[in-house]
Chain A
Amino acid sequence: MEQIPALMRKNLVLLLTLAVMLAVFVAAASGMSQQDFVITLLRGLAVGALTFLVASGFSLIFGLLDVLNLAHGTLFMIGAYIGWTVYVRPDTFVDVLTPLTLIISGFTLRDVWILLARRVPPAGARSADLAAAWGRVAPWVAIVPGALIGFGVMRGYPIAFWSLENYAESPVTFSFLAGQGQRVIPAPATFGDASPLIAFAGLMLASMLTAFGITLLGRSDAHTTQVQVTWRSFVPFIGLVIGGLAVFAVNDPLTAWLFALDTNWLFLIAALVAVLSGMGLGALMEMTLIRPLYVRPIYQLMLTLGLSAIGIEMVRAIWGRPEFTMPKPALFAGSGEGCPAESLWLALQHGCSTMIFQGGRIRVYNEIIVPLVGLVVLIAVWLLLKRTRLGMVIRAGVQDREMVEALGINVRRVFTMVFALGVGLAALGGVLAAPSIGLSNTMGESFLLNALIALAIGGLTSYPGAAIGSLLVGMLQQFIIKYGQIGIVIPFTEVVFKPSPPLVPASTILLMVIILLILPNGLLGRKE
């Protein structure tokens, strides 16, 4: 207990700053009606929660890997689009599963490729020059045909979403229909003349060739690691191939089942798939693109910036440019009998989209569920950091990666996991945001900016700092928006001031500037 005064003296500036912020907040909020206040508070919480999902992953990645992942906003958006696809077009999702598993399958045979790579160039090479030249060409001899075969096969592979004629308008239309409760199962796509067996074999061949080529590219690494090929090396490969083919075999019933599924469960599945794909995407990105660039931070920055642009264009190419909505799951979408409900319990019972809270009408999903999920993630990641060995390694690695490695811990693998986790959190944020703010190609950018400001406010690598910063940013924005509608009386005058919309982003930057002037490392940042 005697530590408290000492702690207070140590953090005097921080406490004073928080006190002043609280005072300003109370003064600003006192002019509001209770109803407005509650709604604005909840909306602030919601925006804060979504910002936090982006910011926390960003800060974990930056803290441990020193990578400023500027593609984080794009990955947030991709999470939303993947979630939407599973939710509104499960047929496409099922169609994509088989080729995807087959393409991944070849890469799981890494040990086999390393062993084979050691035989290239062949032992009988006539001269060192020839061997070196061959070594440089060989990877591409495998990768180029692999990619060509893959491309050729995928063009012929029937995926419900594939045909150009209908996709330009279909996301919007399908969202609309799904929102009306009409879930029309599109005619299952069928293979043309080519036998599916040829397509499967082609995809696997393409995958194997590309994987082998990539192993050849990274050969210097492959020489030192010891590998043994046993039957275990083939287990993931066989599992993926069998899984992929099994999905193909039950394609139609599986699609029908997903379409018939209750939207609440479907939404959960969609969120899960979005998070898992986000994690997979993150791991892939770290292993292939980020890893070679740890020694060149500037290139990393350019890489992630470029990836963010590429990601946006790819989403445009696949889902089109127009914005569309994601219907809410049935539990939060009703407006029938008993709605708006008097309590959260009743709202959930009747499946109401809105409820009455403190005299105001609030949306259950947007203003209750989103902040709740944010809170759950906050606690879950905090527990991961504080209570698990992985968390311990992450906290230690943020400070001194070399020492962690010297203790016998494979830091590179931890890097991949943290990157995957960070991107998974962003994808969760995206899929969570989609039903409340809709989908657009640029939805990630504002959240990335918010997250960056939140982290600057809270302290770049501090996890609680990310939470507090996100909350402040969300609150401030929502209160400014609200004052834009109702106006605020400037103290000691009669003037009513209505902040214009551009002041919303400006206000958060202003807050950041003020806080950084007082506390250069952010609220909870560590002094460097």
Chain B
Amino acid sequence: MTPILELRDVHTFIGQYHILQGVSFAAPHGAITALLGRNGAGKTTTLKTIMGLTPPRAGEVRFEGRRIDGKRPFEIAALGIGFVPEHRAIFRDLTVEENLKIAERKKGDYARKQDMIFTLFPDLMRLIHLRGTNLSGGQQQMLAIARALVADNRLLLIDEPSEGLAPVVIEGLIGAIRQLAADSTVILVEQNFLVASQLAEHYVIIEEGRSVKSGRMPDLVNDKAAIHRYLGAA
């Protein structure tokens, strides 16, 4: 079975800087794959490269077997990829409802997904008329994920969902992400290894812009030496 997403020797530059210097991995269908690595290793850039926000200069990105590198971000998104960026990027001047509605790709997407979204994030329901600027960090994160669920996305790219959130809030998020992974594939960037190890079935370690190790998460959890070497945590 072809992997839902595949990167082959991807190189990305931001200005003069050679950020990704050969990232290759394949994300299998219907599972959560975690991108791990130290700060500044290139995890966020990898997600942005997949979305076409920082287009790769060399290498291939394939989504469901079709090449998507070189396409514009809106074309990539329209193929069925949802993006939950670092720092959430909630639209401050839009209400929660508008933040969701803007993600519609077909008329009526929001109406159709409403129930699913509010079952997953019941808190959002009572915030529906609040403006984005008035939400707490956890609420913003829920909204950012919910926004990626409005359109029919088969792949979700989620960047640092637990960043800056209280442990209780993280608990809830983990549950939500696990639930939504039942229907779609997720690629997750996560600093917090504990969170990542609870969620993901597969992992890819990125170091200094290269993918250096990948495999199944349970194997990594048991490999203390690798964790120490690549992630600097026990």
Q: Interface on A for B, CB 8 Å cutoff? A: 224, 389, 392-393, 395-396, 398-400, 402-412
Contact = CB atoms under 8 A, between A and B. Distances in A.
A400 B78 contact: no
A398 B91 CA distance: 9
Contact of B91 (A224, A403, A406, A410): A403
Contacts of A403: 83, 85, 89, 91
B105 interface: yes
A229 B151 CA distance: 29
Given A406-B53, A407-B103, A396 B91 contact: yes
Contacts of B74: 405-411
A291 to B, nearest CB: 13
A410 B105 CA distance: 11
Contact of A402 (B73, B93, B94): B73
Contacts of A412: 72
Contacts of B83: 403, 406-407
Contacts of B147: 407
Nearest to B103: A407
B51 interface: yes
Q: Which of A389, A393, A409 has the most CB of B within 10 A?
A: A409
Interface residues of B, number: 23
B78 A408 contact: yes
Q: Which of A398, A400, A403, A407 has the most CB of B within 10 A?
A: A407
B77 interface: yes
Given A403-B85, A406-B85, A224 B71 contact: yes
Nearest to B51: A406
B94 to A, nearest CB: 6
B93 A405 contact: no
A390 to B, nearest CB: 11
B102 interface: yes
A114 to B, nearest CB: 15
Contacts of A405: 53, 72-74, 77
A268 B91 CA distance: 39
A392 B98 contact: yes
Contacts of A402: 53, 73, 85, 89
B73 A400 contact: no
Interface in B72-104: 72-74, 77-78, 83, 85, 89, 91-94, 98, 101-103
Contacts of A396: 91, 93-94, 98, 102
Top 7 nearest A-B pairs (CB, nearest first) are: A408-B77, A403-B89, A396-B91, A405-B73, A406-B83, A408-B78, A410-B74
A404 B94 CA distance: 12
A408 B148 CA distance: 11
B70 interface: yes
22 contacts: A224-B70, A393-B102, A395-B91, A395-B94, A396-B102, A399-B92, A400-B91, A402-B73, A402-B85, A402-B89, A403-B91, A404-B102, A405-B53, A405-B73, A406-B51, A406-B74, A406-B77, A406-B83, A407-B74, A408-B78, A409-B102, A410-B72
A400 B89 contact: yes
Given A399-B93, A406-B85, 9 more contacts: A396-B91, A396-B98, A396-B102, A399-B92, A404-B102, A406-B73, A409-B74, A409-B102, A411-B74
